[in-house]
């Protein structure tokens, strides 16, 4: 991948990215090229959703979007939630009619997607009656139904087991030439993606192909995990949980 001439999709050149006056990622510099599969890593609050939101804003209709909290309507059936991926493509009248009498073609298209995502038989079930993993797959189905060349996902495989996560990522890959996916599974980042963007304290500290990275390097993106590891180590040593005051400070903190 490195060195190949690929079409540039988007570039940030020392830009401040955030929410209004609140800058989360100061002086961000990065580029996304067509064909790249990027894993976006960083501990909670590092700025992953902020970056994905900005990518989404700039890429607009080129990008399918799978949000972190799914954005599903619990009262509506799986079919209607997936159909929402293409609401803007139909007239208001067609959308209203579809609510009462599902349109034949979309119904078959959504049914095919649901089969692939292990949601067969649930098309008429209100999303509010599904498990967390099933809702996650509905959110992915809705994003796939948008049929865009690029996929942006904010932890789209957070609620499923590792086996399903791989299957879902493969389905996403099969339908999109380019993807940027926020996730916390570092092993998956190394095995399934070809590039990692790693955020720490509002900085892009890793922007590299996965074959040049190790798990240990990715661990450095999670300084708070050090404290958790020390709790576990201390518990292993004497069977007791240490007091909070006995815990070491995370790396790089006073």
Ligand X SMILES: Nc1ncnc2c1ncn2[C@@H]1O[C@H](COP(=O)(O)OP(=O)(O)OP(=O)(O)O)[C@@H](O)[C@H]1O
Residues near ligand X, by CB under 6 A: 19, 22, 24, 42, 44-50, 68
Beta carbon nearer to ligand X, 67 or 106:
67
CB of 49 to ligand X, least distance (A): 3
Contact assessment for residue 27 and residue 51, using Cβ atoms and an 8 Å cutoff: no
Least distance from C-beta 223 to ligand X, angstroms? Answer: 14
Nearer residue to ligand X within complex by CB, 40 or 114 = 40
Query: Residue 85 or residue 202: which is nearer to ligand X going by CB?
Result: 202
Positive or negative, the Cα torsion across 61, 32, 10, 69?
Answer: positive
Least distance to ligand X, CB of residue 99, Å = 31
In the complex, minimum distance from the CB of residue 186 to ligand X, in angstroms, rounded to a whole number: 14
Of 80 and 195, the one with the shorter C-beta distance to ligand X is 195
């Amino acid at each position: 991948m490195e060195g190949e001439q690929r079409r540039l999709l988007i570039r940030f050149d020392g830009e401040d990215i955030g929410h209004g006056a609140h800058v989360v990622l100061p002086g961000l510099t990065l580029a996304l090229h067509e064909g790249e599969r990027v894993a976006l890593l960083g501990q909670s609050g590092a700025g992953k959703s902020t970056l994905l939101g900005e990518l989404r804003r700039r890429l607009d209709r080129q990008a399918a979007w799978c949000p972190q909290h799914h954005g599903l309507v619990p009262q509506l059936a799986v079919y209607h939630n997936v159909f929402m991926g293409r609401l803007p493509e139909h007239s208001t009248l067609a959308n209203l009619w579809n609510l009462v009498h599902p349109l034949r073609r979309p119904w078959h298209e959504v049914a095919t997607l649901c089969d692939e995502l292990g949601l067969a038989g649930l098309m008429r079930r209100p999303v509010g009656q599904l498990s967390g993993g099933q809702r996650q797959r509905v959110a992915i189905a809705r994003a796939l139904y948008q049929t865009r060349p690029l996929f942006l996902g904010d932890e789209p495989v957070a609620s499923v087991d590792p086996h399903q996560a791989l299957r879902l990522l493969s389905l996403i890959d099969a339908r999109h030439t380019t993807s940027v996916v926020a996730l916390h599974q570092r092993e998956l980042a190394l095995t399934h993606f070809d590039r990692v963007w790693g955020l720490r304290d509002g900085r892009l500290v890793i922007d590299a192909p996965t074959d040049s990275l190790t798990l240990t390097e990715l661990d450095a993106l999670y300084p708070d995990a050090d404290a958790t590891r020390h709790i576990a180590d201390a518990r292993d040593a004497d069977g007791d949980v240490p007091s909070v005051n006995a815990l070491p400070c995370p790396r790089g903190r006073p």
